[in-house]
Amino acid sequence: MAPLLQLSGVSKRYGGVQANAGIDLRVDAGTIHAILGENGAGKSTLMKLIYGVERPDEGQVFWQGQAVALSSPSDARRLGIGMVFQHFSLFETLSVVQNMALIVPGSKAELATRIRDLGAAFGLSVDPQAMVHSLSVGERQRVEIIRCLLLNPKLLILDEPTSVLPPQSVALLFDTLRALRAKGMAILFISHKLEEIRELCDCATILRQGRVTARLDPRQGTAHDLATLMIGRPMPPPVHPTPHGLGEERLALTALSFANEDPFGVSLKDVSLSVRGGEILGIAGISGNGQQELAALISGEIALKSSASSVTLMSHPVGDLGAAARRKRGLAFVPEDRLGRGAVPDMSLADNALLTAHSRGLVQNGFINRKAERAFTAECITRFDVRTAGPQAEAGSLSGGNLQKFIMGREMMLNPSVLLVAQPTWGVDIGAASEIRQRLVAMRNAGAAIVVISEEIDELFEICDRLQVLHKGHLSPSLDVAATSVEQIGTYMIGAAA
């Protein structure tokens, strides 16, 4: 029998970059097929070719044995291919159900019911009437998954689908995917979480630098083997921090409450935390539970005029101060959105270094010192292994992982007393992610106070000393990582803790 989907010798080039080179792939009905590769290995491009977003320069795509030329995602959907994107492809000014109605037939009321049913069945709770612009990245991804399932596709492509789910929901999602496989559906599963792939997938195709480097059964061999095949060298070991003496309190939130004016935003209620020098506090939780608001309240992008003492930095009340004033007191911040917030896409890396490093001798008497700016940028590029043409490259031209390394490097080079990092390894390849985690631990050992907001529980357990869980604007009590379990955190994440 002909395979459901077959690719032979497919290549795609963007300008000077060979994103895919001579890729052969075979996906059979009733299997879950993993696509593994680092960021920039060509996974996303390959998926775009299959989903009709892009057309291959060379090679042929066969669907149930027939050669097909997909020229748009609607062609792909007509054949029975559904895709859940890593980055949202939703209209922000429409509600969830309106977004669904664009490609799914049926009345809105009917759709809203199906959305609620699917949400309940798979632990993907989303208000069908909510406007997409008010949803967090995590919630948008849930909407994407539901939208695909509504169409009952023959082949479902999932691009890093589990990155936004709490552990309990991951298990539920896997049950769902297994049920779909049992019904004969084929699933292309992209993930960098190797344990997940070993647990779920029947076969795996490994990509490196746009080429297929291995095809294998992931259930044979260890996660370590898979990682080695994927990054082309042995994987760096995890870096559990060793306990050591703590310094003084650097950052504290005391009974902080924030009433969000945005009706779809999250209000924070009675949030308290305290971080001392030499420790990493992790804020776990699925995004959309107040993470954005919490980060902005700590960074000073949201200032509370009336309650200065609810936020203290180095024992000084700063709740009423803006971002610049808090930075002066020793705070540095790596935000979750890199383009447009952590960096200006249209500016060079050198000019992006200036964004927050201007106080480090890069500006003298109001004049920009271009030499110092270039030197700082070049040092950041070298020390943090940013792959780029140089300090003059536009920030927008860097891959997500490289830009994250640059922003992380820039903020770390400020030698902050307190470092706030939101989603440090989102969309970052496995090698770079482990490097970023190592550097965070190194900073902690050097005495910095660090707050990491992340959805990746494994990551938090690897590097944090203590964890607090954010759920619907409430922050759980502090839990010692050594004395807690993933399940316990997961219970807090879905608000089920007593």
Contacts to other proteins by CB under 8 A: 15, 71-72, 75, 78, 299-301, 322-327, 333, 335, 337, 340-347, 351, 354-356, 358, 363, 366-368, 394, 397
- Phi, psi (5° rounding) for residue 321? -90, 155
Residue whose CB is less far from other proteins, 43 or 338: 338
Residue whose CB is less far from other proteins, 367 or 483: 367
**Distance of closest approach, residue 409 Cβ to other proteins, in angstroms:** 16
Residue whose CB is less far from other proteins, 407 or 436: 407
Q: Is 232 exposed, middle or buried (0-12, 13-18, 19+ CB in 10 A)?
A: exposed
Cα-trace Rg, the chain? 23
**Distance of closest approach, residue 346 Cβ to other proteins, in angstroms:** 5
Residue whose CB is less far from other proteins, 335 or 431: 335
Scanning the structure block, which residue is given the tokens 């938090």? 460
Distance CA 10, CA 243 (A): 51
Residue whose CB is less far from other proteins, 397 or 415: 397
Cα-based angle 461, 467, 468 (whole degrees, multiple of 5) = 140
Strand partners, 203: 33
**Distance of closest approach, residue 6 Cβ to other proteins, in angstroms:** 19
Scanning the structure block, which residue is given the tokens 């809203």? 112
**Distance of closest approach, residue 395 Cβ to other proteins, in angstroms:** 10
**Distance of closest approach, residue 326 Cβ to other proteins, in angstroms:** 8
Scanning the structure block, which residue is given the tokens 């009433």? 259
DSSP 66-78: EEE---SHHHHHH
Long-range contacts of residues 490-496, Cβ cutoff 8 Å, at least 24 apart: 490/166, 490/167, 490/168, 490/457, 492/284, 492/285, 493/166, 493/167, 493/168, 493/284, 493/285, 493/286, 493/469, 494/123, 494/166, 494/168, 494/169, 495/471
Residue whose CB is less far from other proteins, 15 or 234: 15
**Distance of closest approach, residue 245 Cβ to other proteins, in angstroms:** 33
Residue whose CB is less far from other proteins, 373 or 435: 373
Count of Cβ atoms closer than 10 Å to residue 448 Cβ: 24
**Distance of closest approach, residue 366 Cβ to other proteins, in angstroms:** 6
Residue whose CB is less far from other proteins, 239 or 344: 344
Distance CA 400, CA 120 (A): 33
Contacts of 205 (CB under 8 A, 6+ apart): 25, 33, 34, 35, 36, 212, 214, 215
**Distance of closest approach, residue 328 Cβ to other proteins, in angstroms:** 9
Contacts of 152 (CB under 8 A, 6+ apart): none
**Distance of closest approach, residue 340 Cβ to other proteins, in angstroms:** 5
Distance CA 285, CA 290 (A): 9
Structure tokens at 2: 């002909």
Residue whose CB is less far from other proteins, 325 or 494: 325
DSSP 242-297: PP-----EEEEEEEEEE--SSTTS--EEEEEEEEETT-EEEEES-TTSSHHHHHHH
Residue whose CB is less far from other proteins, 2 or 324: 324
Residue whose CB is less far from other proteins, 202 or 394: 394
**Distance of closest approach, residue 261 Cβ to other proteins, in angstroms:** 13
Distance CA 389, CA 116 (A): 48
Cα-based angle 261, 268, 130 (whole degrees, multiple of 5) = 55
Residue whose CB is less far from other proteins, 314 or 355: 355
Contacts of 126 (CB under 8 A, 6+ apart): 96, 115, 119, 135, 139, 142, 143, 146
**Distance of closest approach, residue 455 Cβ to other proteins, in angstroms:** 20
**Distance of closest approach, residue 59 Cβ to other proteins, in angstroms:** 19
